[in-house]
């Protein structure tokens, strides 16, 4: 989207706000209300559009462009002669810079490293999540048209669209943050946007240990599983930290391996040098051209992968994932939405059924039990903290049932007066069958890792 389109779009959105009145001014020169602020900003936008040499501006680097916009806005504010204080002057300059080069009112929120989620509930209301808790912010958009312009800017960057014929869309920001937008007529009160933030500097194992999301012992077991090329399934609810854990687990993969990632919206931040990233494609306006995760999984097997990592298994691609794990692509990893490890296996079984192969349940379960070595359950607790709740090993089949044994767990013991969840990590005392495989691959596990008498807060 060109600078001209951005400016004209925002000016149009701002000018359509109903019943705009001239801003009232108090004795200190401060604008009394948002109505006056938006009217002033709209006039500055229009003046900027008339003054800027857009052809020259398009060729300038971003830092130079920001400076030029600042100078022009300051000049226009002097010409306006509307008494405003320094804080309001700086706010108008920053807002217009964000409108031209960024995502408008969302830019200050995206720059805040403490925010993990941004939830736009129509143009009037924006919530954020900090440290697991939701907070209402002062940010809002001029009107519905303004919000739609920002949504269009986000989705157009990744070659996607959103309109009445396709009112839902998944996209991503340049930093890998995941975006979901849904517009009327599906959203009754106005367009909605949900942004799942990802750290600019990816978290490391040490960070999760410091946050008490896991213990060094749990990290040692998980690292051994990855290094020994055991196939792992990460299970958890929305916002529980599945993708974050998958990113961290990938750090244990040797740097000489070829990794292929497959996602609906690219969000993984793998640090290895040899990573090939694939992303699905939605259908076009005519309803054609869709590329599903299943197609990408099948194609990835022709690309000589050492490991295949699926961002989230959610459909018929489950059968291709299991077959890949069973036919020489061990060490692959994926995430799935489920409340418990047992539920995760049931969901995989149901998704295999979506492939339409008419396999008997026992055959599907045999595929699952032979393909997956361990299931790691993660959760966001009531106090907002995310923890690894359980590591369970799949040991085989007994009759028609997949057998599992728990190796490590987080045991909740209560809730503190301030709402913090109390509990500890501990081993169950069971030495896993995969311990021998890890030893053969040069990653022996110490016996004291499985001592059930030890407690880790």
Domain boundary among 164, 196, 228: 196
Q: What percent of the chain stands above pLDDT 70?
A: 87
Clarify whether residues 126 and 60 are in a common domain.
Answer: no
Clarify whether residues 185 and 213 are in a common domain.
Answer: no
Domain boundary among 196, 222, 251: 196
- Any domain includes 455: no
**CATH number of the domain encompassing residue 234:** 3.40.50.300
Model confidence, pTM: 0.77
Q: What is the span of the domain harbouring residue 40?
A: 3-101
Domain boundary among 60, 78, 101: 101
Clarify whether residues 184 and 213 are in a common domain.
Answer: no
- Any domain includes 161: yes
- Any domain includes 36: yes
Instruction: Give the tens place of pLDDT for each residue, 191-205.
Output: 999 998 876 677 889
Q: Rounded mean pLDDT of 68-90?
A: 78
Instruction: Give the tens place of pLDDT for each residue, 24-63.
Output: 333 334 444 555 666 776 677 677 666 666 555 656 676 7
SS3 readout for the chain: CCHHHHHHHHHHHHHCCCCCCCCCECCCCCECCHHHHHHHHHHHHHHHHHHCCHHHHHCCCHHHHHHHHHHHHHHHHHHHCCCCCHHHHHHHHHHHHHHHHCCHHHHHHHCCCCEEEEEEECCCEEEEEECCEEEECCCCCCCHHHHHHHHHHHHHHCCCCCECCECEEEEECCCCCEEEEECCCCCCCCCEEEEECCCCCCCCHHHHHHCCCCCHHHHHHHHHHHHCCCCEEEEECCCCCHHHHHHHHHCCCCCCCCEEEEECCCCCCCCCCCEEEEECECCCCCCCCCECHHHHHHHHCCCCCCEEEECCCCCCHHHHHHHHHHCCCCCCEEEEECCCHHHHHHHHHHHHHCCCCCCCHHHHHHHHHHHCCEEEEEEECCCCCEEEEEEEEEEEEECCEEEEEEEEEEEEEEECCCCCEEEEEEECCCCCCHHHHHHHCCCCCCHHHHCCCCCEC
Clarify whether residues 180 and 140 are in a common domain.
Answer: yes
Clarify whether residues 262 and 378 are in a common domain.
Answer: yes
Clarify whether residues 358 and 379 are in a common domain.
Answer: yes
Clarify whether residues 218 and 345 are in a common domain.
Answer: yes
- Any domain includes 456: no
Clarify whether residues 349 and 317 are in a common domain.
Answer: yes
Clarify whether residues 179 and 258 are in a common domain.
Answer: no
Number of domains in the chain: 3
Q: Worst-scoring range by mean pLDDT, 21-35, 70-84, 258-272, 422-436?
A: 21-35
Clarify whether residues 23 and 85 are in a common domain.
Answer: yes
Clarify whether residues 319 and 445 are in a common domain.
Answer: yes
């Amino acid at each position: 989207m060109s600078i001209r389109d951005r400016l004209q779009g925002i000016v149009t959105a701002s000018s359509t706000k109903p019943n705009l009145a001239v801003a009232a001014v108090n004795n200190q020169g401060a604008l009394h209300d948002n109505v006056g602020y938006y009217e002033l900003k709209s006039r500055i936008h229009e003046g900027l559009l008339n003054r800027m040499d857009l052809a020259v501006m398009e060729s300038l680097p971003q830092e130079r462009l920001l400076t030029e916009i600042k100078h022009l806005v300051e000049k226009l504010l002097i010409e306006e002669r509307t008494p405003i204080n320094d804080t309001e002057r700086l706010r108008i300059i920053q807002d217009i810079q964000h409108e031209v080069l960024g995502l408008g009112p969302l830019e200050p929120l995206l720059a805040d490293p403490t925010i993990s989620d941004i939830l736009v509930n129509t143009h009037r209301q924006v919530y954020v999540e900090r440290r697991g808790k939701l907070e209402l912010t002062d940010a809002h958009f001029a009107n519905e048209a303004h919000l739609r312009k920002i949504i269009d800017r986000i989705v157009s960057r990744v070659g996607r669209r959103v309109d009445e014929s396709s009112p839902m869309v998944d996209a991503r920001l340049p930093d890998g943050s995941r975006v979901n937008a849904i517009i009327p007529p599906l959203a009754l009160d106005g367009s909605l946007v949900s942004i799942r933030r990802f750290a600019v500097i990816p978290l490391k194992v040490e960070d999760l240990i410091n946050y008490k999301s896991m213990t060094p012992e749990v990290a040692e077991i998980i690292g051994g599983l990855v290094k020994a090329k055991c196939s792992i399934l990460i299970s958890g609810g929305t916002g529980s930290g599945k993708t974050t854990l998958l990113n961290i687990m990938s750090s244990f993969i040797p740097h000489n391996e070829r990794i292929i990632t497959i996602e609906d919206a690219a969000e993984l931040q793998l640090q290895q040098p040899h990573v090939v990233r694939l992303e699905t494609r939605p259908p076009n306006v005519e309803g054609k051209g869709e590329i599903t995760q299943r197609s990408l999984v099948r194609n990835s097997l022709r690309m000589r992968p050492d490991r295949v990592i699926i961002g989230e298994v959610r459909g018929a691609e489950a059968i291709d994932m299991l077959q890949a794990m069973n036919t020489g692509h061990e060490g692959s990893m994926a995430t799935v939405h489920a409340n418990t490890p047992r539920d995760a296996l049931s969901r995989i079984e149901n998704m295999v059924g979506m492939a339409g192969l008419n396999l008997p349940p026992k055959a599907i379960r045999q595929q699952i039990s032979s393909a997956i070595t361990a299931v790691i359950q993660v959760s966001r607790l009531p106090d907002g903290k995310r923890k690894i709740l359980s590591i369970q090993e799949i040991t085989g089949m007994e009759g028609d049932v997949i057998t599992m044994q728990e190796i490590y767990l987080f045991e909740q013991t209560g809730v503190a007066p301030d709402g913090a969840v109390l509990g500890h990590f501990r081993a169950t005392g069971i030495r896993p069958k995969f311990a021998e495989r890890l030893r053969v691959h040069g990653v022996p596990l110490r016996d004291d890792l499985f001592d059930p008498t030890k407690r880790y807060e």
